[in-house]
Amino acid sequence: MNLELKKAIDQISKDKGLDRDMLVSTLEEAVRTSVLRRFNDDMDVEVKYNDETGDIEVFQFKIVVEDGDVANDVTQISLEDARKHDPQVQIDDEVGFAVPIKDLGRIAAQSAKQVIIQRMRDAEQEIIYDEFKDRRGEIVSGIIQRRDRGGWVVNLGRTEAILPRDEQIPREHYKRGDRVQAIIIEVRKDCRGPQVVISRAHRDYMAALFRREVPEVDDGLVQIMGVARDPGSRAKVAVYSREREVDPVGACVGVRGSRIQNIVQELRGERIDIVVWSPEIATYARNALAPAVVTRIVVDEEENLLEVIVPDDQLTNAIGRKGQNVKLAARLLGWKVDIFTETRYNEANSIGAGLEQVASVAEVSLETLLQAGYSSLDDLRAASDEELADKLLITPMRISELRQAINFLAPVVEDMPESLAVNADEAQGEGDGGERPAGTGDAAE
């Protein structure tokens, strides 16, 4: 009895997590291949593993032919010789002969061993690939093992993963033996086995950390609507609550900031802004640009552009250090964002104080006028009462007051003699002293 072989199969199946029947089948095929290489490829060979004794049994089969008609002694046997083994045998029957394993020879046995090892390795790699390909987006923990050309190799236990340089948090340093957490972003097949790629800089890693630290996010009561990161420095996370009684920001921050601090510590001090998501892009943009105070926002859907106007003293807060605040906001929103101070925007669009005064008289916001398509007093003067009532949702009394304000701020000059009109134009040109440069805004893609 070959109990050692049986014990080895059982141990490998348990340690490697491989199917026992697959191991037995691989062993049988490996032995069969070695027999054919040792003797002749034309041989009809059958290999069976005896699970009770742990022995491998090899049989060669030959077809019985008439005496004197043996054309190939590897595949055929004469009737006379066959009946020495089985007196009942007939023509065209198959006769089986046991082939001693010890006759395979040292080289054949070594070849069988190599085939078994390779098949086991292939099967193990396939199992690992099937396991990890369904774990994309999952946080894993591993030990830094060695440096690779493209980054660090991390031991995950069952397999190794690669942490590329581009997926590391800047200014974060590792050494062999350090434990590191990351998210699986890709699993691909490679000639050396399944290749698991992990990341600490990916935006999905932050979302996964929120799912782990915030039960409301994991339960789906609070949804992560978007993440924009400057890894290791700052990030903006948009959240939305499906239940009115659940405060999405409070849930993510936790009592005394306990939840958010756990995430910040894991990301080595990365500053995180929690932004309340809104289906209204203007409201969403105001939240995304915090802590800056926003005066108004002009939405250009055709150009996918937001013109954000802020008080003159809020420009620095809106843009942020090295443009970080507006860039992260634009990335989170998925819109191009132009930041203007009120002074520059008014100059660039020739709005001036007059339009603001008219908006105040009509008790509507300047943003409402702009969104309705009225960017000057002339635009308002040219609009009919019905159009104003429809677009601005104001009463006939407010319309009358609005027109009085327009006439007061920019009265219509009628019946002016042509000579006076020319002189007035010339005088205006002299007073201006040339063209006034238009203001520009700070843009972020």
Contacts of 210 by beta carbon, 8 Å cutoff, 6+ apart: 217, 224, 237, 252, 263
User: 101-114: per-residue pLDDT in tens?
Assistant: 665 555 555 655 66
pLDDT, one tens digit per residue, over 319-378 is 998 899 999 999 999 999 999 888 777 766 655 557 777 888 888 887 788 788 887 788
The one-letter code for the residue type at 271 is R
The tokens for 230 are 């400057």
pLDDT of residue 438: 35
pTM of the model: 0.59
Closest CA to 205 of 155, 161, 267: 267
75-89, 209-223, 407-421, range with greatest mean pLDDT = 209-223
Amino acid at 112: A
Mean pLDDT within 34-45: 80
Is 312 inside a domain boundary?
no
- Same domain (yes/no): 193, 231: no
Mean pLDDT of the chain: 81
Which of 283-292, 320-329, 396-405, 413-422 is predicted least confidently? 413-422
- Regarding whether 387 and 370 lie in a shared domain, the answer is yes
Do 174 and 145 lie in a common domain? yes
Taking the alpha carbons of 259, 260, 262, 263 in that order, is the dihedral positive or negative?
positive
What residues have CB less than 8 Å from 180, skipping those under 6 apart? 141, 142, 143, 144, 154, 163, 174, 200
CATH number (domain holding residue 194): 2.40.50.140
d(CA 416, CA 12): 104
Whether residue 181 is found in the same domain as residue 255 = no
Q: Are residues 110 and 222 in the same domain?
A: no
85 and 151 belong to one structural domain: no
- Predicted pLDDT at 35: 79
Classify residue 7: in a domain, yes or no. Answer: yes
In a domain, 193, yes or no: yes
149 contact partners, CB below 8 Å, separation of at least 6? none
Which tops the pLDDT comparison, 254 or 2? 254
222 contacts 187 by C-beta, under 8 angstroms? no
CATH number of residue 399's parent domain: 1.10.150
Q: Are 231 and 170 in contact (CB under 8 A)?
A: yes
- Report the CATH number at residue 62: 3.30.1480.10
Give the pLDDT confidence score for residue 199 in this predicted structure: 95
pLDDT above 70 as % of the chain:
84
Residue 341 lies in a domain: no
Domain count, the chain: 4
Task: List the domain range (segments joined by +) for residue 114.
Answer: 3-130
> Is the peptide bond preceding residue 411 cis, with omega within 30 degrees of 0?
no
Residues 227 and 161 in one domain: no
Which of 245, 255, 243 lies closest to 219 in space, CA to CA?
243
Quick one: average pLDDT of 165-185? 91
Do 8 and 121 share a structural domain? Answer: yes
The reported pLDDT for the residue numbered 1 is 43
Is the pLDDT assigned to residue 405 strictly greater than 80?
Answer: yes
Answer for the pair 300, 263: CB distance below 8 angstroms, yes or no: no
